[in-house]
Amino acid sequence: MTAAEERAVIDRVRRGETEAFEALVLDNQKKVYNLALKMTGNENDALDISQEVFIKAYTGLHNFRAESRFSVWLYRMTYNICVDFIRKKQRTPVSSLTYTDDDGEYMDLEIPDTRYEPAVEAEKRELREALSRGIDELPQHHREIIVMREMTGMSYEEIATTLGISEGTVKSRLSRARQNLVSLLNSYGTFSKSGRHKTGKEVEGHG
Amino acid sequence: MADCKKYMDMISCYADGELPEQEQKLLLAHLDGCASCRALLSAYRSIAEAAEETLVQVPDGFAAGVMEKIRKLPRRRSGGWKAVRPVIISFAAAAACLALVFTVSPQRFDFGRNKAKMSARVEAPDMADTAERGTDSVLMDSAVPEAGSGEFGGTEAAKSDEESLFLYEAAGASADVETPQTGMATATDSPAPNGAATDGQPVDSTSQVTRHPGVKLGIAGVDENTLVIYYAVFTFEGALPDHVTGVEKTDRGGGLYSLVVTADVARELINEGYTNYVIGNEDAETALVYYTED
């Protein structure tokens, strides 16, 4: 759906055409659900939250202002509802690995070998599976920023607004999150190890 | 290779296409002679490429299920949802606001002639119950108190009353509600942005509050000297987002603070998807934000 089409649909819903809203659900459900899924780690919770997001979007549609993308508005709502949910559930990190945090030193990052080229489908599938597992094992603040950027395609500015942090912090946190992710993928053997860049020291992450 | 550290964030930015041109030149010069950093960039790109493909499908019938729930929502008789105000209320937050205001420093409130009524409200018996129910409800579980009930916890009567949902809105839009313009009035060193003159007298909005239960939710923003009803009252568990700025920061004790912000900031927060808020009076020009600091 183009931005113009989206606006037209929103206008129709605002005028009382409830059924038009379904097109907005269909257009955005996948990314909203995946964001919730990666944040909660549970399919049922993610479905409940996704449903809540769309119903809140519907009832609060007058609050949506066209200067932001409708999808991003939904992602922000998803994020906030997930944060509330996680706080209530006190979800604990699933991994005990050490991570580099946003302000700490750079860790010993094993740089993947350049020979890695996921040319064939089997390798691509392997990468997808490893990536999904790796994202799940990241500490929450790294997992959420990776999902926002890589899976929902939010801009730095949109992420900054959603998380209530500066764009500078978005840049550095995303960088650290990616380094952690590469380390995890290395540990699964997804990327060949070359063992270079042993420059920093490992620091405990913030879970 | 120790030099590579300073290129880490740049590589990440570059992979996103967000690196400023000047830094790009620096990075490209480094990449030219550093196979390790080239490999890292390549890994980031592989991840980006694969990430989109890791998205899982939403179960069949999800959108239909959402639409079914939406169709069951109470509707205005006059048409669609166009005029419906933010009724996505966390009643847990509402109860928490009230509880915070009145438990943190009850002695600070000069209830004056409204003392009896205010006290009665503080002691509203079903607050915890309301909060609990509000927590689990998906949205606006019709838990808006019935008109004239005078009790915050009066959800029983309102629960099945479709119309009560909109009394809330009517409260905000009602022409006879005397909109308090004194949101900033008590900050003597801060001029009220709306230019409203203040006579320093308490605003007697209690009667309106009683008649309009929706507005009553905003009572959480009651000021010491004036019964200010804010546009909305937010609660943040933790520090405020950087972009939320305001005046009249008040230490409520125990690490709890409140800040007066403009209604525009409040609308922006709502637009950004924050859900822990209670709408007070939509005509008010200021809002109150509770937050905590360590």
- The tally of domains found in chain B comes to 2
A67 touches chain B (CB under 8 A): no
In this predicted structure, which of A152-166, A174-188, B253-267 has the lowest mean pLDDT?
B253-267
Are B198 and B254 part of one and the same domain?
yes
In this predicted structure, which of B20-24, B132-136, B165-169 has the lowest mean pLDDT?
B165-169
In this predicted structure, which of A55-69, A190-204, B208-222 has the lowest mean pLDDT?
B208-222
Question: What is the C-alpha to C-alpha distance for residues B291 and B232, in angstroms, rounded to an integer?
Answer: 14
End-to-end CA separation in angstroms for chain A: 37
In this prediction, residue A109 carries a pLDDT of 58
| Per-residue pLDDT band at B229 (split at 50, 70, 90) | low
Chain A: nearest CA to B66, how far in angstroms?
6
Query: Which residue of chain A is at minimal alpha-carbon distance from B61?
Result: A26
In this prediction, residue A108 carries a pLDDT of 54
Are B45 and B142 part of one and the same domain?
no
Are B38 and B100 part of one and the same domain?
no
Residue in A18, A55, A73 closest to B80 by CB: A18
In this prediction, residue A25 carries a pLDDT of 97
Average pLDDT on A15-23 reads 94
Cβ-based contacts of B270 with chain A (< 8 Å): 60, 63
Q: CB A52 to CB B139 under 8 A? A: yes
**What would the pLDDT profile of B240-268 be if each residue is shown by its tens digit?**
877 788 877 878 777 888 888 888 888 88
Are B49 and B180 part of one and the same domain?
no
B278 lies in a domain?
Answer: yes
B98 lies in a domain?
Answer: yes
Residue in B36, B139, B140 closest to A111 by CB: B36
Cβ-based contacts of B138 with chain A (< 8 Å): 51-52, 55
What is the per-residue DSSP string for B219-275?
Answer: GGG--SSS----SEEEE-SSSPPTT---EEEEEEETTEEEEEEEHHHHHHHHHTT--
Q: CB B271 to CB A63 under 8 A? A: yes
Residue in B39, B48, B82 closest to A114 by CB: B39
φ, ψ dihedrals at B293, nearest 5°:
-130, 145
Cβ-based contacts of B35 with chain A (< 8 Å): 114
Are B14 and B111 part of one and the same domain?
no
| pLDDT higher than 80, residue B134 | no
Residue in B9, B46, B71 closest to A171 by CB: B9
Cβ-based contacts of B82 with chain A (< 8 Å): 14-16, 62
B197 lies in a domain?
Answer: yes
Are B46 and B187 part of one and the same domain?
no
Question: What is the C-alpha to C-alpha distance for residues A113 and A108, in angstroms, rounded to an integer?
Answer: 15
**What would the pLDDT profile of B31-44 be if each residue is shown by its tens digit?**
999 998 999 999 99
Query: How does strand B232-235 pair with strand B286-292?
Result: parallel
Cβ-based contacts of A64 with chain B (< 8 Å): 271
Give the residue numbers spanning the domain of B276.
85-292
- Domains of chain A, each with CATH number or no CATH: 3-89 (1.10.1740.10), 94-207 (1.10.10.10)
Are B37 and B144 part of one and the same domain?
no
Average pLDDT on A22-39 reads 95
Residue in A21, A62, A172 closest to B9 by CB: A172
Average pLDDT on B87-98 reads 48
Are B46 and B135 part of one and the same domain?
no
Are B39 and B137 part of one and the same domain?
no
What is the per-residue DSSP string for B40-85?
Answer: HHHHHHHHHHHHHHTPPPPPTTHHHHHHHHHHTS---TTSSSTT--
In this predicted structure, which of A9-13, A49-53, B117-121 has the lowest mean pLDDT?
B117-121
B277 lies in a domain?
Answer: yes
Average pLDDT on B115-119 reads 38
In this predicted structure, which of A150-154, B98-102, B257-261 has the lowest mean pLDDT?
B98-102
Q: Which of A14, A47, A111, A149 to mutate to test the interface with B (most CBs of B within 10 A)?
A: A111
B66 lies in a domain?
Answer: no
Residue in B62, B139, B271 closest to A56 by CB: B139
Higher pLDDT, B104 or B178: B104
Average pLDDT on B280-293 reads 78
Are B151 and B22 part of one and the same domain?
no
Chain B: nearest CA to A8, how far in angstroms?
15
CA triplet B67, B71, B76: central angle to 5 degrees? Answer: 140
Average pLDDT, chain A: 81
Dihedral of alpha carbons B91, B97, B100, B105, sign: negative
| pLDDT higher than 80, residue B76 | no
Dihedral of alpha carbons A40, A46, A49, A54, sign: positive
Average pLDDT, chain B: 61
In this prediction, residue A122 carries a pLDDT of 75
B36 lies in a domain?
Answer: yes
Chain B: nearest CA to A5, how far in angstroms?
19
Q: CB A58 to CB B39 under 8 A? A: no
102-161 of A, contacting B, C-beta below 8 A: 106, 109, 111-114, 116, 118, 124, 127-128, 131-132, 135, 146, 149-151, 153, 155-156, 161
**What would the pLDDT profile of B138-175 be if each residue is shown by its tens digit?**
333 333 333 333 333 333 333 333 333 333 333 333 33
Residue A121: half-sphere exposure toward Cβ, Cα within 13 Å: 0
ipTM: 0.78
Q: CB A22 to CB B63 under 8 A? A: yes
Whole-number Cα distances in Å, A76 to A80, B126, B206, B250: 6, 32, 36, 28
Contact A146, A135 (CB under 8 A): yes
Are B195 and B147 part of one and the same domain?
yes
